[in-house]
Amino acid sequence: MAEGAQRERLGTARRWVVKIGSALLTGDGTALDREGIARWSAEMARLREAGVELVLVSSGAVAAGMARLGLSERPHALYRLQAAAAVGQMGLIEAWESAFQRFGLHTAQVLLTHEDLSHRGRYLNARSTLRALLDWGVVPVVNENDTVVTDEIRFGDNDTLAALVANLVEADLLVVLTDQDGLHERDPRLDPGAAVVHEAAAGDPALDAMAGAEGGALGRGGMRTKLRAARLAARSGTATVIAPGREEGVLAAIREGRRVGTLLVPDQAPLSARKQWLAGHLKLAGSLVIDDGAVRAVVEGGRSLLPVGVREVHGGFQRGEVVACVDAAGREVARGLVNYGAGEVRRIMGQPSSRIEAILGYVDEPELIHRDNMVVM
């Protein structure tokens, strides 16, 4: 589709996820930017009046806590980060609640961990809760549950959280507000004349070199995490706009199809809800190294993974956990819910399915991973 035509379609998007990062929300660390919060809430209220459903993913708890506590540097110890988040979350949610109340809108605090979205039952419950809030016209304010999360089960950044929430509610549009004009062709800190990429396919590999690597001092994200978020969101058919959050009327400009920020459009058919859940797993229980024949069967043929195609087993996973399928070069080609534990797979790998019962003494399924429980990466 020609440039411009995709932007015009943004006016028809009826469910948005809007993510606002720490650098914007805390005035680069001095305190909560209440003027900014008032402006963004006013813009979102106008979207609500136009019939747009909104989920807000708000960073800023740790940074707000740092400001309240007078800390000049982000703590390194996890328990200190959690304590800062506990202090800051109080002021953060109060600021959003007060701002939206001016327009007669209710908010709801929703704190999530990756574990909440990895467990299928909790994932479905979170989805139902968010949809109920949207049905009631409430604006959910989502953040990572920093106070209880551990390094092993954290999202890593709120860009990723926002993308997974977009998958969760099947949003039409993910808007990531940042302190940059968008994704630049080169790092604007090194090349101030670098042009903004106004529109691209989310999966375009040329974007990786443009995205750089590091985020700012307050947040954990950077342009690379925003690109990764756009690709995660694209799995549910969600377009992403990376836009300058300090620009007056930025949300209205996006809805009107104006040329603001970077629009990253899905370049693949949306996955089913179940496969979106599988694709969104950030922490895998293990991996299976599969041979070239199995790679072709899974990737090109859309088939299940059988024991005969497995060459190596890594990890101590249990039946029903999510594992990666990697090729001989270590590239992940698929992931899915495994039907046997790691010890069992080590005994039956390389064998035809007809031998499973003879080797194990029983057979649950002839496939290691059924195609309905697998997503190609």
Intervals of CATH 2.30.130.10 along the chain: 284-376
At 284-342, the pLDDT tens digits run: 889 999 999 999 999 999 999 999 999 999 999 988 888 999 999 999 999 988 999 99
Intervals of CATH 3.40.1160.10 along the chain: 5-271
Percent residues over pLDDT 90 in the chain: 48
pLDDT value of residue 152: 41
At 230-243, the pLDDT tens digits run: 998 988 889 999 99
Q: Which two tokens stand for residue 306?
A: 């059988």
User: In this structure, is the dihedral angle defined by the CA atoms of residues 202, 204, 206 and 208, taken in order, positive or negative?
Assistant: positive
For residue 150, pLDDT beyond 60: no
For residue 3, pLDDT beyond 70: no
pLDDT band of 4, cuts 50, 70, 90: low
At 258-290, the pLDDT tens digits run: 999 999 998 877 777 777 778 777 778 899 999
For residue 116, pLDDT beyond 60: yes
Q: What mean pLDDT is predicted for residues 146-170?
A: 74
At 8-54, the pLDDT tens digits run: 788 888 999 999 988 888 865 567 888 999 999 999 999 999 999 99
Per-residue burial over 308-347, b if 16 or more Cβ lie within 10 Å, else e, is: bbbeebeeebeeebbbbbbbeeeeebbbbbbbbbbebbee
pLDDT value of residue 67: 81
Percent residues over pLDDT 70 in the chain: 92
pLDDT value of residue 93: 92
Please list the alpha-helical segments (H only) found in the chain.
5-8, 22-25, 34-49, 61-69, 78-101, 114-118, 120-135, 158-169, 207-211, 223-234, 250-255, 273-279, 292-299, 342-348, 356-360
pLDDT band of 153, cuts 50, 70, 90: very low
Of 8 and 159, the structure prediction assigns the larger pLDDT to: 159
User: In this structure, is the dihedral angle defined by the CA atoms of residues 122, 128, 132 and 138, taken in order, positive or negative?
Assistant: positive
pLDDT value of residue 156: 57
Q: In which residue are the tokens 């940059």 written?
A: 180
Lowest-confidence range among 157-161, 169-173, 322-326, 346-350? 157-161
pLDDT value of residue 205: 87
**Is 284-376 CATH 2.30.130.10?**
yes
pLDDT value of residue 216: 46
Q: Which two tokens stand for residue 283?
A: 């922490």
pLDDT value of residue 85: 85
Q: Give the residue among 6, 12, 16, 8 at the shortest CA–CA distance from 45.
A: 16
* Mean pLDDT, the chain, integer: 86
pLDDT band of 210, cuts 50, 70, 90: confident
CATH code reported for the domain at 5-271: 3.40.1160.10
- Cβ atoms 144, 205 nearer than 8 A: no
pLDDT band of 84, cuts 50, 70, 90: confident
Q: In which residue are the tokens 């790691």 written?
A: 342
Strands 262-265 and 239-244: antiparallel
Fill in the DSSP letter of residue 304: P
pLDDT band of 148, cuts 50, 70, 90: low
- Cβ atoms 156, 282 nearer than 8 A: yes
pLDDT value of residue 172: 92
- Cβ atoms 202, 315 nearer than 8 A: no
pLDDT value of residue 1: 45
Q: Cα-flanking dihedrals φ and ψ of residue 53, to 5°?
A: -85, 140
- Pairwise CA distance, residues 258 & 175, whole Å: 14
Q: Which two tokens stand for residue 240?
A: 């992403």
- Contacts of 349 by beta carbon, 8 Å cutoff, 6+ apart: 288, 307, 310, 311, 312, 313
